[in-house]
Amino acid sequence: MSRHRARRGDPLPAAAPSARGRIATWRGQHAWSLHASLQRLAAHPVGTALTLTVMGFALALPLAFYLALGNLQRFGAALGESQAISVFLKPGLGAAAVAGLASDLRARADVAVVATRTPQQGLAELSAMQGFGPGLAALADNPLPYVLVVTPRAGLDARAGQALVTALRALPAADRVQDNSAWRGRLDALLTLGRRVVLLLGALLALAALLVVGNSVRQDIQAHAEEIAVMQLVGASPGFVRRPYLYAGICYGFGSGVVAVALVLLLELALTGPVATLAAAWGGGLRFAGLAPALLLAVPFAAALLGWLGARIAGARHLTAVEPH
Amino acid sequence: MPARAGLAATLAHAMLPASPEPAAPVIRLDQVSKRYPGGHEALSQLSFELGAGEMAFVTGHSGAGKSTLLKLLGLLERPSHGAVMVGGVNLGSVRRSGIPRLRRQVGMVFQDHRLLMDRSVFANVELPLVVAGVPPAERGKRVRAALEKVGLLAHEKKSPPALSAGEQQRVGIARAIVGKPPLLIADEPTGNLDPQLAVEIMGLFVEFQQVGATVLVATHDLFLIKRMRKRVIVLDHGRLVDDVAAAEVV
């Protein structure tokens, strides 16, 4: 009862009765805490920079994997768009026979398009690729066969697709049948695994970042044990004592988020050129895509939340240890 | 009436020196014992009262229980037995969450000052006001008023290590009085000072008493006690052995 009464009637303006006064007090105390924590971080620039860098790397790593995975997925999708089956015909087959075979295949219900690529076209394509020109020029005659590029009808399920491939393999004129969809299935499985790995890695590295913040805040608290004791002696509430450390955690988190985003942007910058060259070599149409701006923007805030949590855990563990009581 | 009023109200009431009714005691100890873990009994069955606006010295050899007594009053320790009342509030009923609020009502001065060495004099004195949520503009005024009272207004931007021991102690006193607490307690505030500085510091405490504060100072400096002519509470091995009224001090 008396404890309850003691809460009222403080002669200091702390117990300003109006809501506006209370908000102003609250704001003033927060401003003081934020200022105190920023001052502290600035007082140890090397330690702060080290913490930010370590956390930044820990956060950048899953982001980089996510970036790679996203591009691989797009790459796979672009390749799979033409689920074409290449039928390499036996050498020595004449143009008329090839045309007849093509029209037979076009008549099939499970086939959408059949394109014919002549040996000349194949040779021209090869010559255009780097390094092949001089070697091909040395050949006396064209060793390339006719190729029929068969595009299955859209919406064909896996079993019907397999049946088509089997039928094509059974053709007497077919030398070799290359089925891109099998390759696609393997890539999909690999990407699913990759997504799982990125998720696990992200969780582990977020935990690492949490520990880094927690450790930095713990060291902060230990370095300021005397100050904390003095604040408690002059009547600071536990929340007030803890606040500068929570702000420090938020600052560590936000800063490391910015570092992580900067690292990923650097990575993107470094990779855009080589990936464009690679994509061009694969037939073009592919462009390297960076992470979504919204995601990049969200990273520092998510990291700030992580920093706050780390500081909160460290505060709960270590602030009570220095209470003079 | 004082028994029903809150701590702050009672203490505020106690600050009025010309009260028509006899003021309730600001400090009341009733059969207080304190035994530390390990068995050492620092206080045993100590009882005394200190009225509003009164100033008293607590003295005794080292280990007599002076520091423990002050720790109980600031809720740095809790008694093993008995009741400690401050401003009509039984500290035994103050829960952990209520401790900060109580400490804001009690100005504490320490022998080792307990200043923040990496902050300015101004920031040190400002701390209790920040903690209490006083707006910045008001803080500046009150910090300067407190520094002026202890004669350190010119040093507000310095850091404590740049000051002499006596000046550092005066910063500690400014910090204790800046929140205008109704009760001021000091643990050996002149312990490290030469006699002349000690007299100056004690003079400050007398001034605060004269403006209405209740003051309790622990010291083993008998010369100083005689000179100040205030009530003296003498402890020995945690027991009250003498309680000399101001008029009887010779």
Q: Using CB atoms, which residue from A11, A24, A238 is nearest to B8?
A: A11
Nearest to B179 by CA among A11, A18, A32: A11
Nearest to A43 by CA among B131, B160, B118, B116: B118
Lowest mean pLDDT, pick from A107-116, A119-128, B141-150: A119-128
- A240 CB contacts (<8 Å, ≥6 apart)? A29, A33, A231, B100, B131
For residues B243 and B50, what is the distance between their CA atoms, to the nearest angstrom?
A: 11
Instruction: Identify the residue among B72, B104, B142 best suited for mutation to test binding to A, counting A beta carbons within 10 A and taking the highest.
Output: B104
3-state secondary structure of B225: helix
Q: Please state the pTM of the whole predicted model.
A: 0.70
The phi and psi torsions of A237 (rounded to 5 degrees) equal -75, 160
The reply to whether B5 touches chain A by the CB within 8 Å rule is yes
The phi and psi torsions of A176 (rounded to 5 degrees) equal -150, 140
Given pLDDT bands bounded at 50, 70 and 90, which one contains residue B247? confident
The reply to whether B157 touches chain A by the CB within 8 Å rule is no
CA A77 to chain centre: 17
Torsion angle in degrees (nearest 10) through CA of B16, B22, B27, B31: 180
Does residue A324 surpass a pLDDT of 80? no
Tokens standing for residue B113 = 């000052």
CB contacts of B94 in chain A (<8 Å) are: 2-3, 6
Nearest to B176 by CA among B224, B233, B108, B100: B108
Nearest to A315 by CA among A304, A305, A323, A325: A323
Given pLDDT bands bounded at 50, 70 and 90, which one contains residue B2? very low
User: Residue A183: what residue type?
Assistant: W
| A6:B127 CB<8 A | no
Work out the mean pLDDT of chain A and round it to a whole number: 82
| B135:A24 CB<8 A | yes
Per-residue pLDDT at A3: 39
Tokens standing for residue A123 = 């040779």
By CA distance, what is A11's nearest residue in B? B8
Tokens standing for residue B132 = 């209490």
Give yes or no for a contact between B133 and B94, defined as CB atoms under 8 angstroms apart: no
Q: Using CB atoms, which residue from B75, B97, B114 is nearest to A230?
A: B114
CB contacts of A229 in chain B (<8 Å) are: 114
Tokens standing for residue A57 = 């790397």
| B132:A14 CB<8 A | yes
Rg (CA), chain B: 18
The reply to whether B133 touches chain A by the CB within 8 Å rule is yes
What are chain A's domains?
A: 27-79+186-322 (no CATH), 91-172 (3.30.70.3040)
| B101:A238 CB<8 A | no
Tokens standing for residue B91 = 């500290």
Given pLDDT bands bounded at 50, 70 and 90, which one contains residue A283? low
For residues A223 and A109, what is the distance between their CA atoms, to the nearest angstrom?
A: 78
Per-residue pLDDT at B7: 56
Does residue A4 surpass a pLDDT of 70? no
| B135:A28 CB<8 A | yes
Q: Using CB atoms, which residue from A3, A25, A32 is nearest to B95?
A: A3
CA distance B54 to chain A (A): 20
For residues B85 and B49, what is the distance between their CA atoms, to the nearest angstrom?
A: 9
Burial class (CB in 10 A: 0-12, 13-18, 19+), A129: exposed
Q: For B180, which DSSP code?
A: -
| Tens-place pLDDT, residues B103-120 | 999 999 998 889 999 889
Per-residue pLDDT at B174: 94
For residues A249 and A189, what is the distance between their CA atoms, to the nearest angstrom?
A: 39
Tokens standing for residue A194 = 């990759």
For residues B12 and B2, what is the distance between their CA atoms, to the nearest angstrom?
A: 11
Per-residue pLDDT at B20: 44
Q: For B38, which DSSP code?
A: T
The DSSP result for A49-62, as a single string, is HHHHHHHHHHHHHH
Does residue B10 surpass a pLDDT of 60? no
| A5:B7 CB<8 A | yes
Tokens standing for residue A216 = 């930095």
Tokens standing for residue A115 = 């394109």
Give yes or no for a contact between B153 and B147, defined as CB atoms under 8 angstroms apart: yes
Give yes or no for a contact between A264 and A63, defined as CB atoms under 8 angstroms apart: yes
For residues A149 and A84, what is the distance between their CA atoms, to the nearest angstrom?
A: 6
Burial B34-57 (b: 16+ CB within 10 A, else e): beeeeeebbbbebebebbbbbbbb
Q: Chain B, 163-222: which have a CB under 8 Å from a chain A CB? A: 175, 179-180, 182
Given pLDDT bands bounded at 50, 70 and 90, which one contains residue A83? low
Residues in chain A, total = 325
| A2:B138 CB<8 A | no
For residues B210 and B213, what is the distance between their CA atoms, to the nearest angstrom?
A: 7
CB contacts of A33 in chain B (<8 Å) are: none
CB contacts of B130 in chain A (<8 Å) are: 29, 32
| B135:A324 CB<8 A | no
Per-residue pLDDT at A93: 82
- Strand A85-89 with A111-117, pairing: unpaired
Does residue A14 surpass a pLDDT of 60? no
User: Residue B248: what residue type?
Assistant: E
Share of chain B above pLDDT 70, in %: 91
| A234:B134 CB<8 A | no
Does residue B35 surpass a pLDDT of 90? yes
Does residue A309 surpass a pLDDT of 80? yes
Lowest mean pLDDT, pick from A81-95, A203-217, B175-189: A81-95
The reply to whether B16 touches chain A by the CB within 8 Å rule is no
| B89:A5 CB<8 A | yes
| B101:A235 CB<8 A | yes
Q: Using CB atoms, which residue from B77, B96, B128 is nearest to A235?
A: B128
The reply to whether B89 touches chain A by the CB within 8 Å rule is yes
The phi and psi torsions of A167 (rounded to 5 degrees) equal -60, -40
Tokens standing for residue B108 = 């504490």
Work out the mean pLDDT of chain B and round it to a whole number: 87
Per-residue pLDDT at B6: 52
ipTM: 0.83
The reply to whether B240 touches chain A by the CB within 8 Å rule is no
| Tens-place pLDDT, residues B88-104 | 889 988 888 889 989 99
Instruction: Identify the residue among B130, B141, B168, B185 best suited for mutation to test binding to A, counting A beta carbons within 10 A and taking the highest.
Output: B130
For residues B75 and B69, what is the distance between their CA atoms, to the nearest angstrom?
A: 10
Q: Does residue A14 or residue A63 have the better pLDDT?
A: A63
